Amino acid sequence: MIKESALNPETASFRETVPAGEYFLKVVQAGETLRILDLEGNQAADTLFYNAHNPTERYSVTDTLRAQGNVYLTAGSRLMSSENNVMLEITADTCGRHDTLGGACAAESNTTRYALEKKCMHACRDSWLVAVTEHEELGMTKRDITHNINFFMNVPVTADGGLTFADGISDAGKYVEMEARMDVLVMISNCPQLNNPCNGWNPTPIEVLVWS
Amino acid sequence: MLETASPLYDDLIPGGSHWSFIMRRGHVLRLIDETGHANVGMLMYNPENPLERYNMPDTLKNQHTFKLTRGHVLLSDMGRVFASIIRDDLGWHDTVSGTCNAELVAHRWGRKTYQQAHNQYHRNGLSSFLNELAKYGLGKKDLTANLNWFSRVKTDDAGNMTYVSDHSHAGATVDLRFEMDTIVVLHTCPHPLDSAADYPSHPLRYQLFRASPVTDADPCKTSSPEATRAFANTALYHLMP
Ligand SMILES: [Zn+2]
């Protein structure tokens, strides 16, 4: 569902550009609004959310799908935690659909999806593993890397149980915006995937904005 | 596909229960819906390094599928094959709907405590998983999207999910051939989208067999280039003990 935001980027309390292949880590307080902006189009923002006070509670794809009875995310979707609490609610979306079934790329999944020789190419899970090891204060490890949201990705499910990877429906300037319902740690890997035609083999930067 | 006609082991897990064990590579775990309408929640881990676990997204996207059935492999997050589905009587098993929790079970079917109902009390899938995971030093951080054997959740063009209530039947069978040693954690608690009037409590019969050796022409190994590469990764893992 396309729903535009009334918020003005000029009034954002925080703005940061995240290059492809980098991670982004920030606590967003309950009541604040987070926007992820696709600067150049068809980029994938692989995102994990944690309860900022207890990262054992985290975004759960299965609880989210079940709570809304739908496999796609868009405006109105409530992002649920592993403890069945609402973490964030998507309040605006100019893309229309986001994927949470396809997971993130990892060095090892690149070997199965593309070619065994691709194992040393940089991948989203590498970015997250760097993030948690560079931030020991979070007390997080690979155990905490679970299933994520792929903002701006389109992964249609067919009625007979197929899963397809369609061309991106995002474009330069499209965004998704969500309001935090609890204090959340946001961990994004701005995807470096060089093997997937969905991004035209060209990973590009995103921008993250927060309104207090 | 089975080296032995009669099972090496045969057991029945009551409905609304949980259990776990280590499957050794080269063996088949047969799951049988004893009475019909069963749901079996399952998680899988590598006993040598439990940080390697079943990965729903990798399993689905590598095989371009939303459902699981014969010919599919169940992938770990390290690009390897825990198990191959070598037989399936149903054609569709769910792995995206997760598991019921205490709140959901109490809301839908009422709370039945142990004091009231003894072993017929209402267990839920999430607590059941955590109960079994603790036996291996694992916990909440190790939970991932689980499998729901014998359950079907379909979607329409808009992505709306529907639980199919009359999917499985008595005797429906799934054979999983394990390609790696695997911690198998399972429960027989209701599917979280089941709307049956009474708490669905359906047992699981499971049997163990020795598997025939996997050939290069094996249907699971050759089902897709992705599966072939996952088997290559698994073979390498066993080459480097
Ligand atoms: Zn990626």
Cβ within 8 Å, pair B58-A103:
yes
pLDDT bin (cut points 50, 70, 90) of residue A166 is: confident
Kindly state whether A6 is in contact with chain B, defined as any CB-CB distance less than 8 angstroms.
no
Q: Inspect the interface and report whether the beta carbons of B233 and A157 lie closer than 8 Å.
A: no
Map B69-88 to HEC letters: CCCCEEEECCCCEEEEEEEE
Average pLDDT, chain A: 95
Q: How far apart are CA B60 and CA B89, in angstroms?
A: 20
The answer to whether the CB of A131 falls within 8 A of the CB of A18 is no
A11 touches chain B (CB under 8 A): no
pLDDT per position as a tens digit, A46-84 = 999 999 999 999 999 999 999 999 999 999 999 999 999
From chain A, the residues in CB contact with B160 under 8 A are 69-70
pLDDT classification of B238: cutoffs 50, 70, 90: very high
Q: What pLDDT was estimated at residue A86?
A: 98
> Is the CB of B164 inside 8 Å of chain A's CB atoms?
no
For residue B2, what pLDDT band results from cuts at 50, 70 and 90? confident
Query: Which residues in B174-202 are b (16+ Cβ under 10 Å) and which e?
Result: bbbbbbbbbbbbbbbbbbbbbeeeebbbb
Q: Report the alpha-carbon distance of residue B163 to residue B157 in Å, rounded.
A: 15
Kindly tell me the sign of the dihedral angle through the C-alpha atoms of A111, A114, A115, A118.
negative
- Look at residue A162 and tell me whether its pLDDT is greater than 70: yes
List the single residue in A65, A142, A147 with the smallest CB-CB distance to B51.
A142
Contact check, Cβ <8 Å, B146/A62: yes
Chain B, 8 to 37: residues with Cβ < 8 Å from chain A are none
Q: What is the pLDDT of residues A80-109, one digit of tens each?
A: 999 999 999 999 999 999 999 999 999 999
Decide if A72 and B159 are in contact by the 8 Å CB cutoff: yes
What is the pLDDT confidence band of residue A10, given thresholds at 50, 70 and 90?
A: very high
Q: What percent of chain B has pLDDT over 70?
A: 99
CA A191 to ligand 1 centroid distance, Å? 4
How far apart are the two ends of chain A, measured CA to CA in Å?
Answer: 25
Rounded to 10 degrees, what is the CA torsion of B18, B21, B27, B33?
-10
* Ligand 1 geometric centre to CA of B90 (Å): 33
For chain A, give the number of residues: 212
Mark yes or no for CB contact B156/A71 under 8 Å: no
Global confidence as pTM: 0.96
Instruction: Closest CB to A161: pick one of B55, B65, B104.
Output: B65
Hey, is the C-beta of A157 within 8 angstroms of any chain B C-beta? yes
What is the average per-residue pLDDT within B116-145?
96
Closest listed residue to residue A19, CA positions, set A199, A197, A192: A192
Contact check, Cβ <8 Å, B226/A113 = yes
**CB atoms inside a 10 Å sphere around CB B157:** 9
Examine the pLDDT at B174 and tell me if it is beyond 90.
yes
Residue B93 token pair: 């098993």
Distance from CA of B9 to the nearest CA of A (A): 33
B3 confidence band (pLDDT: 50, 70, 90): confident
pLDDT the model gives residue B241: 55
The beta-carbon neighbor of B155 closest among A56, A116, A157 is A157
pLDDT at A201: 87
Compute the CA torsion angle B40, B45, B48, B51 (nearest 10 deg).
-160
- Tens of pLDDT, residues B82-102: 999 999 999 999 999 999 999
The answer to whether residue B48 neighbours chain A at the CB level (below 8 Å) is no
Kindly identify which residue of chain B lies nearest to residue A100, measuring between CA atoms. Answer: B57
Cβ atoms B104, A201 nearer than 8 A: no
B190 touches chain A (CB under 8 A): no
| Interface contact flag, A61 B56, Cβ < 8 Å | yes
Those residues with Cβ within 8 angstroms of residue A193's Cβ, 6 or more apart along the chain or in another chain:
A44, A105, A123, A124, A199, A203
Q: CA B92 to CA B185: how far, in whole Å?
A: 20
Task: Provide the ipTM.
Answer: 0.96
pLDDT of residue A60: 98
